[in-house]
Amino acid sequence: MIDMTEKYVESLNGRTCYWISRPKSGGAARCLVFLHGMTADHTLFEKQLEFFSADFTVLAWDAPAHGRSRPYRDPAYANAVGELERILAAENITRAVFIGQSMGGFHTQSFLTRHPETVEGFVGIDTCPYGEGYYSRSDRWWLRQVGWMSRLFPLRILKRSIAKAAAVTGYARKNMLRALAPYGKEELCRLMGLGFAGFLEENRDLRITCPVVLIAGERDGIGKARQYNRAWHEHTGFPLYWVKQAGHNANCDNPVEVNRIIAEFIAGL
């Protein structure tokens, strides 16, 4: 992991930690904001932060109620967007490329509903679209069951199941297990339940006007993520890249390919 400055913002809900690195060359540099998925933390992007830090300002957080941003009272998506607003204001960042993996893509889309002018481009990695038409009644019902269903598993098995479902390589699974290590069972299950139920509450039809690229692991086995990405691509025309030898955490499983796609996207902005 590159050497980054750890900082935080505070609100009535708690403290949100983030890490930032600016190019040594100085001067104005495009900013890349990395937003990780549910139950992960900022280290999910360590291969991207290392790759892009020489030429860009890179910023990554531990989302509210994740990693070092714990405890946190109410990690609703609207509250998370508020913390992101505080972080960007503290760093005097008015425009950025948002790179959101899974739940990080939800955070990006929530941010887009409120501040579209701030998002210069959106890279969605194994995430899913906002929009009422993408999700069936059955989909919405199952998403609301995640919290209590996860409580049926012993904690060790639950953590290993999450890591196995999210990643296909040894490195990526170890990365996920490391992020999961601090959680007790009640905290972990509550976090998962709130994450999916909160998405349903936040979900709305959204027309994204900034450039977008979608990236998904060919072996993504989390829910119906691959199906949703196909539908998103077909409905909007956003480019969709399938990454070989990669699961839900595609940027961890195959960082070389994902970094290439991101770099080409940024170059075209």
Residue among 139, 140, 141, 102 at smallest CA distance from 124: 102
Residue among 88, 101, 109 at smallest CA distance from 204: 109
Radius of gyration of the chain, Cα coordinates, nearest whole angstrom: 17
Q: Strands, DSSP E only, in 111-180? A: 119-125
Per-residue model confidence as pLDDT tens for the chain (269 residues): 788 999 999 999 999 999 999 998 766 789 999 999 999 999 999 999 999 999 999 999 999 999 999 999 999 999 999 999 999 999 999 999 999 999 999 999 999 999 999 999 999 999 999 999 999 999 999 889 888 889 999 999 999 999 999 999 999 999 999 999 999 999 999 999 989 888 999 999 999 999 999 999 999 989 899 999 999 999 999 999 999 999 999 999 999 999 999 999 999 99
Residue among 79, 121, 124, 88 at smallest CA distance from 105: 124
What number of helices (H) and strands (E) belong to the chain? 11, 8
CB 222 within 8 A of CB 39: no
Question: Which distant-in-sequence residues (6+ apart) come within 8 Å of 251 by Cβ?
Answer: 44, 45, 47, 48, 101, 125, 215, 258, 259
Q: What is the dihedral of CA 175, 179, 183, 187, to 10 degrees?
A: -120
Both tokens assigned to 237: 């025309």
Residue type (1 letter), 178: R
**Beta strands 14-21 and 57-61, pairing class:** antiparallel
Straight-line distance from the first to the last Cα atom of the chain, in angstroms, rounded to the nearest whole number: 27
Beta-carbon count within 10 A of 136 CB: 10
The confidence score (pLDDT) of residue 24 equals 83
Residue among 165, 184, 181 at smallest CA distance from 173: 165
Beta-carbon count within 10 A of 215 CB: 26
The confidence score (pLDDT) of residue 27 equals 63
Stated length of the chain: 269
Sheet holding 5-11, edge to edge: 5-11, 14-21, 57-61, 31-35, 96-101, 119-125, 212-217, 240-243
Q: Indicate whether this model's pTM tops 0.85.
A: yes
The confidence score (pLDDT) of residue 41 equals 98
